[in-house]
Amino acid sequence: MAAPLVKALLRCSDLTLGVRSAALRFPGLTQVRWSRYSAEFRDPLIDKEYYRKPLAELTEEEKFDRELKKTQPIKAAPSAHTSSVFEDPVISKFINMMMKGGNKVLARSLMTQTLEAVKRKQFEKFHAAASEEQANIERNPYTIFHQALKNCEPVIGLAPILKGGRFYQVPVPLSDRRRRFLAMKWMITECREKKHRRMLMPEKLSKELLEAFHNQGPVVKRKHDLHKMAEANRALAHYRWW
Amino acid sequence: MPLNILRLKHVTVVTTKKNVKALRRETYTVDFIKKQIEEFNIGKRHLANMMGEDPETFTQEDIDRAIAYLFPSGLFEKRARPIMKHPEQIFPKQKAIQWGEDGRPFHYLFYTGKQSYYSLMHDAYGKILDIEKHKNQLQAKGLFSEKNKTIDLIGSRWLIKEELEEMLVEKLSDQDYRQFVRLMERLLQSGAAEEEFVQSFRRSVTVQSKKQPIEPVQRDAQGMAFSTSEGKRKSAKAEAVVYEHGSGRIKVNGIDYLLYFPVLQDREQLMFPFHFLDRLGKHDVTCTVSGGGRSAQAGAIRLAVARALCSFVTEEEVEWMRQAGLLTSDPRVRERKKPGQEGARRKFTWKKR
């Protein structure tokens, strides 16, 4: 009587090997991807303002969420994540994507050198420009980075769909996360492949970021090419069933 | 044999054990189980006498301890070690015979195969319909008022599938279980009239998850108040001593943290607990760390420092730290390499021939 019950409870409440997201388990499918955390563990939320909010300002829903969170076990915060004001999730994601072989130190130093190069170039331009144009020159490297990536994001993508033995490129809407990923991926691939052997990554990346910020350059061109292909294949849109 | 089966009619309905497939054909009669229970009780008293304890207040934990002492076993598999438990926990319980002498089943839903489950769903749905009818009647009369629903959804959880299977007699599928939970939630939403019925299917949950980490109390030495605790990450072990009053100096293995951690990311990890609680320059830390790599050591020190800080900080802030993931020990370790594969996940190059 007690044995299967105890086993089930142990599975639920311990920190031992467990299958993630039990809620998404479908009857015919076996879970292949597993994690060291059990299914009930929630992701940590690192935001000082959220916790410092006084109780009076919270809505009913927020109060309920807070009460609920007290009963749920929380995973450990990842090592690249802090409550520091200098931390940017987009930059962290970009650093991870640039990283090769687990060399986070190198990737992060390349990123800082890139941002420094961007800032230097903008400051040179600033000092060289007349006073009317000085207001238009953006010098904050973080805003330039964000805007450049936003300019590189495609709006619509293509998916290969098998119909009648042939693969057709069908225009398909992309989710936000997929768009951001594609923008970053294109930027990194472009910088790695299309550069002179002697040119260093920060130099090339800063150049590409500035060009993308002004909606020019190869990455934005690639985005436009994708849009044109999608427009050309507009007739195949009805092949999509989702 | 037939006489025994007929006698089983009046046994209370109990669950079948899933794993014990070989024993399914064996039917344990009421007398047999009773005899086993008597023998167990007598054996319990003998065991208490042997251990020199009072037979009246000899609990199951005492029995387990006594058996582990008298029969020490080096077997790795815990289920293979000798145990002495109540017969109800050992013998797989049998389902009673559900039909009479003429072969006619007692329950009206017998031919569904899962009579208890379907009768439960039927009752619950009947209750929902009753509540709605009642509500409609009140609304027709104009006496309907929005009552406060006293649902304590936070401190309790629904029965898990195994518990439900145990409670009813039969095996359920995942869809059955999901349907059951949906029906119960609907019943809960429709009104607070059937509280007891619904509460019988809920189990309480540890209300505060923070009850688990225990913070050590401050100790005094030379007049300085400090707190010590340990932290682990991968194979790195750290022990941190956090002084209550200081100027933000951190010494790791006798070396200043700026020299010990040349990488910025590790220093950010050390700063994280202090920055989160707005206590950046207010504490001094002396810690020792060994094992692991640079990131693992930083993570271990972060955990140790966060745990030590718990003793200087209010309960609310401890809960905030827990929700930010500072107080959880990271269970991720290096996955072992498997035979037939090149690494933990990477397979050998697939060659067609």
Question: Model confidence over A78-137: pLDDT tens digits?
Answer: 999 999 999 999 999 999 999 999 999 999 999 999 999 999 999 999 999 988 888 889
Whether residue B155 sits in one domain with residue B114: yes
> Do B326 and A77 lie within an 8 Å CB cutoff?
yes
Of B162, B173, B263, the CB nearest to A8: B162
Query: Do B271 and B313 fall within a single domain?
Result: yes
Average pLDDT over residues A140-160: 95
Q: Which of A227-241, B82-96, B123-137, B293-307 has the lowest mean pLDDT?
A: B82-96
pLDDT tens profile A15-74? 334 434 444 555 556 666 788 998 889 999 998 888 888 777 768 888 888 888 888 889
User: Is the residue at A33 inside a domain?
Assistant: no
- Give me the pLDDT at residue A32, please: 67
Query: Are both A150 and A192 inside the same structural domain?
Result: yes
Q: Do B331 and A15 touch (CB under 8 A)?
A: yes
Strand-pairing partners, residue A35, are A18
pLDDT at B329: 92
Residue A16 lies in a domain: no
Containing structural domain, residue A161: 88-239
Chain B's closest residue to A48, CA to CA, is: B276
User: What's chain B's average pLDDT?
Assistant: 85
Domain-located, residue B159: yes
Q: What is the CATH number of the domain that holds A201?
A: 1.10.455.10
Regarding whether A67 and A184 lie in a shared domain, the answer is no
CA-based nearest distance A201→chain B, Å: 21
Tell me the residues of chain B between 65 and 124 that have a Cβ less than 8 Å away from chain A: 88-89, 93
- B19–chain A Cβ distance below 8 A for any pair: yes
Condensed to tens digits (0 to 9), the pLDDT of residues B123-147 reads 999 999 999 898 888 888 887 666 6
Higher pLDDT, A18 or A196: A196
Tokens, residue B195 = 């509280």
Mean pLDDT, residues A194-215: 92
How much is the pLDDT for B47?
93
Cβ–Cβ gap B208/A80 under 8 Å: no
Residue B300 lies in a domain: yes
**B276 contact A CB<8A:** yes
Task: Name the residue facing A67 among B154, B298, B299 (closest C-beta).
Answer: B154
B89, B328, B333 ranked by CB distance to A2: nearest = B89
- If you count residue pairs, one on A and one on B, with CB atoms under 8 Å apart, how many are there? 116
Q: How confident is the model over B234-255, as a mean pLDDT?
A: 92
> Residue A15: what pLDDT?
37
Same domain? For B175 and B238 the reply is no
Residues of B in contact with A46 (CB under 8 A): 276, 324-325
Cβ distance A51 to B323 less than 8 Å, yes or no, reads yes
pLDDT band for B14, please (50, 70, 90 cuts).
low
Specify if A112 maps to a domain: yes
Instruction: Kindly tell me if the per-residue pLDDT of B107 is higher than 80.
Output: yes
Q: Does B163 touch chain A (CB under 8 A)?
A: yes
Least confident of A202-211, B62-71, B188-197, B278-287: B188-197
- Whether A212 is in a domain gets the answer yes
B76, two tokens: 């790795």
Predicted local distance difference test score (pLDDT) of residue B213? 65
On whether the CB atoms of residues A143 and A119 are closer than 8 A, the answer is: no
Interface touch B155/A71, C-beta < 8 Å: yes
Residue B5 pLDDT: 47
Structural domain total, chain B: 3
- Chain A segment 13-52 residues within 8 A of B by beta carbon are 15, 25, 27, 36-37, 43-46, 48, 51
Q: Are residues A165 and A186 in the same domain?
A: yes
Take residue B176 and report the two structure tokens written for it.
Answer: 């059955």
- Among A29, A32, A51, A61, pick the best mutation site for testing chain B contact (most B Cβ within 10 A): A51
Angstrom distance (rounded) from CA B168 to CA A227: 58
pLDDT of B300: 96
Q: Is residue B195 part of a domain?
A: yes
Q: Which two tokens stand for residue B272?
A: 């994280």
Model confidence band, residue B293 (pLDDT cutoffs 50, 70, 90):
very high
Asked if B275 and A45 come within 8 Å (Cβ–Cβ), the reply is no
Average pLDDT over residues B166-181: 88
Q: How confident is the model at residue B198 (pLDDT cuts 50, 70, 90)?
A: confident
Are residues A137 and A184 both part of a single domain?
yes
| In a domain? residue B213 | no
Q: Do residues A73 and A42 touch, judged by C-beta distance below 8 A?
A: yes
User: What's the rounded Cα separation, in Å, for the pair B321 and B330?
Assistant: 14
Look at residue B135 and tell me if it is in a domain: yes
> What is the predicted pLDDT for the residue at B205?
77
Amino acid B22: pLDDT: 52
Angle made by CA atoms B169, B174, B179, in degrees to the nearest 5: 85
CA B346 to each of CA A103, A226, B278, B338: distance values in angstroms, whole numbers, following the listed order: 19, 33, 44, 10
Task: Choose among B88, B207, B275: nearest Cβ to A83.
Answer: B275
If phi > 0 it is left, if psi is from -120 to 50 it is alpha, else beta; for residue B105 that is beta
> Given A30, A59, A82, which residue is the final one in a domain?
A82
Residues A206 and A224 in one domain: yes
- The chain B residue lying nearest A25, using CA atoms, is B174
Residue B291 domain-assigned? Answer: yes
Is A3 within 8 Å of B14 when comparing Cβ atoms?
Answer: no
Note whether A73 and A182 are same-domain residues: no
A4 part of a folded domain: no
Same domain, A168 and A226: yes
B229 and B320 housed in the same domain: yes
Collect contacts of B176-183 with beta carbons under 8 A, ≥24 apart: B176/B114, B176/B117, B179/B121, B180/B117, B180/B120, B180/B121, B183/B121, B183/B124, B183/B125, B183/B128
pLDDT band at residue A222 using 50, 70 and 90 as cut-offs: very high
Contacts of B214 (CB under 8 A, 6+ apart): none
Domain assignment present for residue A8? The answer is no
Residues A61 and A138 in one domain: no
Closest in A3, A45, A79 to B324, CB measured = A45
Residue B323 with chain A: CB contacts under 8 Å: 44-45, 51, 69, 74
In contact, B273 and B309? CB cutoff 8 Å: yes
**Do B322 and A74 lie within an 8 Å CB cutoff?**
yes
User: Based on the domain organization, do A184 and A201 belong to the same domain?
Assistant: yes
Tell me if B266 sits within 8 A of B298, measured CB to CB. yes
Same domain flag for B311 and B286? yes
Residue B160 included in any domain: yes
| Residues constituting chain B | 353
In our burial notation (b when 16+ CB lie closer than 10 A, e otherwise), range B168-206 reads: bbbebeeebbeebbebbeebbebbeebeeebeebbeeee
- Is residue B345 domain-resident? no
Task: Answer yes or no: is pLDDT of B6 > 60.
Answer: no
The answer to whether B324 contacts A8, with C-beta atoms less than 8 Å apart, is: no
Would you call A79 an interface residue with chain B, using a CB distance cutoff of 8 Å? yes
B35 versus B195: the higher-pLDDT residue is B35
Residue B243's CATH number: 3.30.230.10
Instruction: Answer yes or no: do A139 and A228 share one domain.
Output: yes
> What is this structure's pTM?
0.76
State whether B222 and B193 are in the same domain: no
- Closest-CA residue of A relative to B92 is A1
β strands within chain B, DSSP E? 156-158, 202-204, 219-221, 224-233, 236-243, 250-252, 255-256, 284-290
Interface test with A, best of B148, B212, B276 (most A CBs within 10 A): B276
A4: nearest CA partner in chain B: B162
Q: Is the residue at A222 inside a domain?
A: yes
Average pLDDT for chain A: 86
Is residue A7 situated within a structural domain? no
- Nearest CB neighbour to B93, from listed A1, A36, A80: A1
The predicted pLDDT at position B295 comes to 95
Domain range spanning residue B177? 110-140+150-204
Contact assessment for residue B156 and residue B204, using Cβ atoms and an 8 Å cutoff: yes
Kindly state the DSSP code that residue B327 receives in the 8-state scheme.
S
Domain count for chain A, please give it: 2
Q: Mutate which of B79, B328, B334, B347 to test chain A, going by most A C-beta atoms within 10 A?
A: B328
Is the pLDDT confidence value at A12 over 50? Answer: no
Tokens 């964000």, located at residue? A146
> At which of A82, A106, A137 does a domain end?
A82
Q: How many CA atoms lie within 13 A of B327 on its CB side?
A: 22
Residues A135, A114, single domain; the answer is: yes
For B330, the closest of A1, A3, A76 (CB atoms) is A76
Of A71, A74, A104, the CB nearest to B265: A104
Together in a domain, A65 and A108: no
